[in-house]
Each structure stands twice: as structure tokens, then as C-alpha cells.
Amino acid sequence: MNREKEGHVRKMVVGLVVVVCSLGALMAQGDPQPACQNCPATYIANEEVQAYARKAVAERLTDQQMRDVSIGKGHVGVGVVYRGKLTAPAQESVAEHDLVSEVYHIIEGTATLVTGPDLVGKKRRPADLETVRLFNGPGNNAASIRNGVTHELKAGDVIVIPAGTGHWFTKIDDHVVYLMVRIDPDEVTPLKDEAASKVYLSKPRRIGPD
């Protein structure tokens, strides 16, 4: 075979490879596969939610994680948060999470929440903090939020707080209880199933200082 024919054949082979690759990509786009293969749904009864709320009051707890489940490309956490009356924000009580986004669904109570990305006096949250290790991963605390947006929350309201957005309760009229859904695409939080939740709820009270 002369050089001219060899060059022609080589071009044909390259062209076929390109066509096959293109067809493969198109077929892959036309036949998507589930991100989570054979994954079960997760059901949490209202009775369990209320048990967490009661535990929060009895043991003076704030944030508790009921579940943390894999969805194939990330984790989703579900928790219950109880916060008591607040007339003025606590020092450095702004929270911001680097990787985990949060959704609040207010169950009862009313509160004022300020959100925004511009944190004043930002400090890294301790890596050994329970909420960092188990609930929402690394992030920062801050003294306040510059040019923050104020939200007056009441029962039934929902607010979505993306990772990197500061959030800050500045007032709670009496108390507020909300369901917390955490989206963790980087899987920085540990999984927690129903069995682990039952064990947690069965533990003796851990009453201590506020």
C-alpha cells in the first residue's frame, strides 16, 4: 500500500472512531441511568419528629439529626431544630456552611432570620464541634451579616439557604421548631439510619448547661 492510500485509510479510521464516540455520547444522553441504583425511599413518621422535638425541650438541645441518607450522588440529612425565646442575637451566632445547603420548614413559632453572604468578623467553626462533624460540615461563624436580608418566619414557611450563605436568628418571639433538610453533595456528613435514630432517642437524658 502506497503512502497516499495509507493516509486515506488512516483518515477513515480516525473518522470512524469519532463517529462511534459521538454515537456513544448521544446514546448515553438518550438513555440516562438512575443516580442511585436500587435505593430505598426513607420514611419518617410524624411521631418520630415529635419525639425529637420533645427530647429537645426536655434535654435543652437545639439541633438534632434524625436521618442522613445516601441519594447516590450525595447525602440528604433530615433534622429537627428547637430554639427558645431570643430577644437579642448571641455573640458570633451567624452560621455559614461551606458545602452543605439547608432548607427550613417552620413547624411552629415565629422568628426573625437574617441571611446573606457578606459575613462580618468571620471565624472558622471548630472541626470537633458536633454540628460540624455530624450535621453540616465545615464552615464559619461571624458577628453579623453586612447588608443582610431579613425574613419574618412563621409556621408553614420554607426558606432555602445555599452553602456559603450566612444565616442568623436575631429574634425568636417565644420559640421556634423547624424541620431541617440538608443537601450534602460532597458527602461530608456521616450516614444515620432508622436504627441509629431509635438508639439515639432511647438514650438517657443529657441535661446540662445551656
| Alpha-carbon span 176 to 155, nearest angstrom | 9
Q: Where is average pLDDT lowest: 2-6, 12-16, 93-97, 178-182?
A: 12-16
What is the pLDDT, as a whole number, of residue 35?
86
What pLDDT score was predicted for residue 3? 56
Cα torsion for 140, 142, 147, 149, to the nearest 10°?
70
pLDDT at residue 4, as a whole number: 55
Q: What is the pLDDT of residue 111?
A: 98
53 contacts 80 by C-beta, under 8 angstroms = yes
Coil vs helix vs strand at 134: helix
The pTM for the full model equals 0.81
Compute φ and ψ for 181, nearest 5 degrees.
Answer: -110, 125
Angle between helices 194-202 and 46-59 (to 10 degrees): 30
Average pLDDT in the chain: 88
Grid cell in block for residue 31: 438513555
What length is written for the chain?
210
Q: What is the mean pLDDT of residues 78-99?
A: 96
Helices (H), the chain: 3-30, 46-59, 130, 194-202
CATH number of 46-202: 2.60.120.10
Q: How is the chain split into domains, by residue range?
A: 1-30, 46-202
